[in-house]
């Protein structure tokens, strides 16, 4: 393993890795649960459209909710069974609010629908992307953005490099690590497919130097291919896409631009693995690898069907050995406390950590900011976290936006180094969602104004039209009167003529 | 002396022409202040301020006829923004114009609706769909919650439903943590 040509970004931190515990055992398959709860919103974009009704029989891999529009993803039945109900259930989301889910009662026969592998080399790109939009594949690194949209490249864009994100920098999480160790071939094959769809010249895998076994496995799988495996130093947050691009290529993605604008596309290892499985084997996105670790008895990685109750996974890992029963979804840096253990496993769930007072001691008392600027030194995006903190705390939202609040990746490095234990990221999250809500209500107000103005204009127009009609009618009436008069004059004249004639005849 | 006078007259004519031309060329339609005030107002079009809509109220504020605290849907935050824009002292919303309440949208009880179209005529943003003797319904995404459809309804089938938070509109809350007593060294 060599660290060559690496461009180090500013800041970053070195939290305890805590990765070894969950890599001792191979990936295990979690048994089919008694029921599967599949949220319709598991991805970024539009909610999927329901295609089934309660009582329907479905087969494994059958689409039960279809992608609605371009930025959306389909949802497939993870096993065969009966649709039990469509109802609101609690989701693994920091809000703890319920949303619509499809519940399946498995028949435990696990019968596949007819698998249709796609000969991706033969069909054209538009068809291929159309096919992938049915795959249900979303970014499995946690961003859950529909993958087919990332493969769809505008005509005026061209991609020169495909970056495969294998950094997995956050502590505790090992799902990508284990996937690479056990299924390196699938990842390399998937990378090559993605590279060919994008038409990229180069394909680089970026992996942190703490994953030696995964590196060896990838290296072996990539032996006869042009895929380059590049090692980056273990430093949080090297797994952030823009940080990884900088580490590997020294290219900084400017504000308000995406890496695609610079000709670089990034995929997570698990995502390219899923692309391979869909195209070569005809298997849609119905499961993922989840790390269950922390205070559980046997930390391990499981291949879990989407919709499996989290409580089943916890039970499989030896259950909770302490009384706190607090679980974190994601890693300790960016994750959040789960509202309940009775939530389903979703496409975004990469890791679940059982919290315990030993692992995560209660936060120390918060003290005032002493303006030491350690957070600025740690910030990998080169922001001024202390300024953002003051603006967010005092709700000066416009000011926070001016100081590039929306470039913050919420990695938590600032919170990690803060000597006053200030929960900085929480303030940024608050400010961000407040700004987004304000923008939305402003947009709604603009629509309301437009509609109101249109209505007033319409009423005005109708009034005018009515007045015109009245005027026309009045005019018409006048004409008629005039005509009547004319007619009666003519009639009278004719009468006179007749009388004259009669008189003449008499004479 | 004559030269100086001529120069001054020439300059006066020239500048007069320039000013006259720019007055026509760069004429601003309407009062820009009205548009800026209107941008702050929530566009509920409810008329609680005593004017027939947000724009008339904005015009009245710009003319100095109305106070800045007559808009309950805009709330204290709106009054604050207006105070900042107008360079005035902030005043909390005057309760005579109505109380501040969370955003709601109207809901028609479709079983009771008789299809009289009175609410359609009252709606300032055309958010009600229906026809004479046909059931009416509210387009919730367009409803501003102005409550103007409530009084004309002869069968009282419209209710205001507060907009609940869902997983899409959910916001991160302001962080709250306990302040601890300083320990003596």
pLDDT at A182: 95
Q: B112 and B160 share a domain?
A: yes
Phi first, then psi: what are they for A231, rounded to 5°? -95, 135
Which residue is it, tokens 């065969």?
A80
Please tell me whether the peptide bond between A237 and the residue prior to it is cis, using omega within 30 degrees of 0.
yes
Q: B125 and B106 share a domain?
A: yes
Rounded Cα distance, A398 and A434, in Å: 11
Q: A402 and A331 share a domain?
A: no
pLDDT at A364: 85
If contacts are CB pairs under 8 Å, which of residues 20-49 in chain B contact chain A?
Answer: 38, 41-45
Question: In A49-151, which ranges are E strands?
Answer: 49-50, 57-58, 63-66, 75-76, 81-90, 98-106
- Test mutation, A43, A449, A455, chain B, max B CBs within 10 A: A449
Domain count across chain B: 2
**C-alpha closest to that of A364 among B131, B178, B140, B63:** B178
**Based on the number of CB atoms within 10 Å of its own CB, is A161 exposed (0-12), middle (13-18) or buried (19 or more)?**
buried
Q: A270 and A232 share a domain?
A: yes
Rounded Cα distance, A192 and A215, in Å: 17
Which residue is it, tokens 């947009």?
A443
Residue B36 tokens read as 């800026």
pLDDT at B31: 72
Handedness of CA A171, A176, A180, A183 (dihedral sign): positive
Rounded to the nearest 10°, the torsion over CA A69, A70, A71, A75 is: 70
Tally A–B CB contacts below 8 A. Answer: 77
Contacts of B58 in chain A (CB under 8 A): none
Angle, alpha carbons A306-A309-A312 (nearest 5°):
115
Taking only the tens place, the pLDDT of each residue in B63-88 is 889 999 999 998 888 899 899 898 88
- Residue A302 domain-assigned (yes or no): yes
Domain boundaries, position A170 = 21-31+125-351
Rounded Cα distance, A305 and A287, in Å: 4
Q: B121 and B88 share a domain?
A: no
- Name which of A94, A95, A426 is nearest B175 (Cβ-Cβ): A426
Rounded Cα distance, B63 and B60, in Å: 5
A166 membership: H or E segment, kind and range = strand A161-166
Check B170 against A427: CB less than 8 A apart: no
Q: A334 and A378 share a domain?
A: no
Interchain CB contact of B3 with A (< 8 Å): no
pLDDT at B33: 86
If contacts are CB pairs under 8 Å, which of residues 150-179 in chain B contact chain A?
Answer: 165-175, 177-179
- Name which of B142, B144, B167 is nearest A91 (Cβ-Cβ): B167
- Which CATH number characterizes residue B89's domain? 1.10.15.40
pLDDT at A295: 87
Rounded Cα distance, B145 and A13, in Å: 49
- Residue B138 domain-assigned (yes or no): yes
- Residue A356 domain-assigned (yes or no): no
Task: Report the largest interatomic distance among the alpha carbons of chain B, rounded to a whole angstrom.
Answer: 92
Q: Is the pLDDT of residue B182 over 70?
A: no
- Residue B74 domain-assigned (yes or no): yes
pLDDT at A102: 95
**C-alpha closest to that of A339 among A99, A100, A95:** A95
pLDDT at A462: 93
- Which CATH number characterizes residue B139's domain? 3.30.70.20
Q: How many residues are listed for chain A in this entry?
A: 507
- Residue B11 domain-assigned (yes or no): no
- Residue B157 domain-assigned (yes or no): yes
Q: Which residue of B has its CA nearest to A434?
A: B171
Q: A305 and A411 share a domain?
A: no
Q: B159 and B111 share a domain?
A: yes
The DSSP line for A279-347 is III---S-EEEEEEEESBSS-EEEEEETT-BHHHHHHHTT-B-SS--EEEES-TTT-EE-S-S--B--T
- Smallest CA–CA distance, residue A165 to chain B, in Å, is 28
Three-class SS state of B10: helix
In chain A, which residues touch B (CB < 8 A)? Answer: 41, 91, 93-95, 97-99, 363, 365-366, 423, 426-427, 429-430, 432-434, 436-437, 441, 444-449, 451-456
Q: A383 and A347 share a domain?
A: no
Rounded Cα distance, A164 and A200, in Å: 12
Residue A228 CB contacts under 8 Å (≥ 6 apart), including other chains: A202, A203, A204, A205, A222
- Smallest CA–CA distance, residue A240 to chain B, in Å, is 22
Check B43 against A446: CB less than 8 A apart: yes
- Residue B183 domain-assigned (yes or no): no
Q: A141 and A284 share a domain?
A: yes
Q: Which residue of A has its CA nearest to B181?
A: A365
pLDDT at A353: 94
Q: A171 and A219 share a domain?
A: yes
Check B167 against A99: CB less than 8 A apart: yes
CB neighbours of residue A156 within 10 Å: 5
Residue B22 tokens read as 């720019």
- Domain boundary among the residues B76, B97, B118 is at B97
Taking only the tens place, the pLDDT of each residue in A154-168 is 777 889 999 999 999
Residue A329 CB contacts under 8 Å (≥ 6 apart), including other chains: A92, A335, A336, A338, A349, A351, A352
Q: B91 and B134 share a domain?
A: no
- Domain boundary among the residues B47, B81, B97 is at B97
Q: B84 and B109 share a domain?
A: no
Check B144 against A448: CB less than 8 A apart: yes
Which residue is it, tokens 């939290």?
A15
The answer to whether A48 touches A75, Cβ cutoff 8 Å, is yes
Handedness of CA A317, A318, A321, A326 (dihedral sign): positive
Q: A340 and A413 share a domain?
A: no
Domain boundaries, position B71 = 32-97
Q: Quick one: angle between helices B75-86 and B32-40, nearest 10?
A: 160
Name the pairing type of β-strands A98-106 and A81-90: antiparallel
Domain count across chain A: 2
Check B43 against A452: CB less than 8 A apart: yes
Contacts of B165 in chain A (CB under 8 A): 95, 97
- Name which of A94, A429, A455 is nearest B126 (Cβ-Cβ): A455
Taking only the tens place, the pLDDT of each residue in B105-131 is 999 999 999 999 999 999 999 999 999
pLDDT at B183: 66
| Average pLDDT by stretches of 10, chain A with 507 residues | 76 92 93 94 91 93 91 94 94 91 94 89 87 92 90 83 94 95 94 92 93 94 91 92 93 90 94 94 94 92 95 86 78 92 93 89 88 94 94 92 94 94 94 94 92 93 94 85 85 86 75
- Test mutation, B57, B122, B174, chain A, max A CBs within 10 A: B174
Check B170 against A97: CB less than 8 A apart: yes
Taking each continuous run of H as one helix and of E as one strand, the counts in chain B are: 5, 4
Check B167 against A94: CB less than 8 A apart: no
Contacts of B41 in chain A (CB under 8 A): 445
* Between residues A38 and B27, the one the model is more confident about: A38
Q: A283 and A432 share a domain?
A: no
Check A363 against B53: CB less than 8 A apart: no
- Smallest CA–CA distance, residue A430 to chain B, in Å, is 5
């Amino acid at each position: 393993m060599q660290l060559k040509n690496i461009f180090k970004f500013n800041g970053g931190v070195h939290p305890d890795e805590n990765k070894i515990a969950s890599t001792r055992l191979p990936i295990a398959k979690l048994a089919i649960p008694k029921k599967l709860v599949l949220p319709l919103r598991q991805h970024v974009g539009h909610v999927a459209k329901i295609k089934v009704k309660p009582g329907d029989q479905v087969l494994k891999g059958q689409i039960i909710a279809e992608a609605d529009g371009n930025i959306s993803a389909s949802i497939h039945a993870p096993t065969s069974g009966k649709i039990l109900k469509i109802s609101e259930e609690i989701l693994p989301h920091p809000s703890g609010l319920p949303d619509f889910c499809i519940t399946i009662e498995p028949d435990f026969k696990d019968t596949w629908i007819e698998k249709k592998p796609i000969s991706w080399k033969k069909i054209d790109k538009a068809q291929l992307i159309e096919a992938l939009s049915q795959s249900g594949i979303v970014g499995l690194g946690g961003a859950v953005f529909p993958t087919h949209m990332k493969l769809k490249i505008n005509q005026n864009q061209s991609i020169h490099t495909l970056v495969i994100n294998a950094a997995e920098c956050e502590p505790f999480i090992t799902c990508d690590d284990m996937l690479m160790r056990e299924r390196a071939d699938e990842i390399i094959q998937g990378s090559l497919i993605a590279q060919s769809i994008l038409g990229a010249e180069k394909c680089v895998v970026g992996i942190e130097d703490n994953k030696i076994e995964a590196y060896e496995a990838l290296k072996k799988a990539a032996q006869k291919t042009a895929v380059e495996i590049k090692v980056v130093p273990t430093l949080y947050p090297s797994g952030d896409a823009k940080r990884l691009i900088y580490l590997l290529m020294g290219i900084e993605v400017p504000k308000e631009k995406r890496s695609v604008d610079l000709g670089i596309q990034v995929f997570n290892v698990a995502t390219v693995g899923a692309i391979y499985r869909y195209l070569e084997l005809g298997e849609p996105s119905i499961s993922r690898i989840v790390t269950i670790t922390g205070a559980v008895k046997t930390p391990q990685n499981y291949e879990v069907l989407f919709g499996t109750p989290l409580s089943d996974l916890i039970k499989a890992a030896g259950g909770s050995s302490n009384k706190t029963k607090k679980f974190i979804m994601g890693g300790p840096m960016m994750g959040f406390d789960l509202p309940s253990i009775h939530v389903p496993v979703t496409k975004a769930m990469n890791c679940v950590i059982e919290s315990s007072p030993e692992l995560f001691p209660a936060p120390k008392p918060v003290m005032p900011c002493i303006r030491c600027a350690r957070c600025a030194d740690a910030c990998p995006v080169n922001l001024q976290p202390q300024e953002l903190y003051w603006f967010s705390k005092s709700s000066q939202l416009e000011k926070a936006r001016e100081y590039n609040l929306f470039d913050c990746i919420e990695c938590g490095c600032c919170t990690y180094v803060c000597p006053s234990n200030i929960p900085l990221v929480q303030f940024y999250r608050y400010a961000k969602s407040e700004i987004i809500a304000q923008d939305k209500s402003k947009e709604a107000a603009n629509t309301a104004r437009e509609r109101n103005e249109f209505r007033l204009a319409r009423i005005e127009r109708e009034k005018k039209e009515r007045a015109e009609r009245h005027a026309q009618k009045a005019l018409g009436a006048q004409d008629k009167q005039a005509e009547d008069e004319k007619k009666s004059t003519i009639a009278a004249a004719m009468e006179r003529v007749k009388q004259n004639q009669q008189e003449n005849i008499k004479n | 002396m004559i030269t100086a006078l001529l120069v001054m007259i020439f300059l006066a004519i020239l500048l007069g022409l320039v000013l006259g031309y720019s007055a026509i060329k760069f004429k601003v339609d309407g009062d820009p202040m009205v548009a800026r005030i209107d941008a702050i107002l929530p566009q509920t079009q409810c008329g609680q301020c005593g004017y027939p809509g947000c724009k008339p109220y904005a015009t009245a504020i710009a003319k100095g006829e109305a106070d800045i605290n007559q808009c309950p849907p805009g709330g204290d935050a709106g009054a604050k923004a207006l105070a900042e824009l107008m360079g005035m002292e902030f005043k909390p919303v005057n309760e005579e114009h109505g109380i501040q309440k969370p955003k709601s949208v109207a809901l028609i009880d479709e079983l009771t609706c008789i299809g009289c179209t009175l609410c359609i005529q009252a709606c300032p943003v055309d958010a009600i769909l229906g026809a004479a003797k046909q059931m009416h319904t509210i387009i919730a995404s367009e409803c501003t919650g102005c409550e103007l459809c409530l009084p004309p309804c002869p069968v009282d089938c419209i209710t205001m439903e507060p907009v609940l938070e869902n997983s899409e509109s959910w916001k991160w809350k302001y962080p709250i943590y306990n302040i601890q007593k300083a320990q003596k060294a």
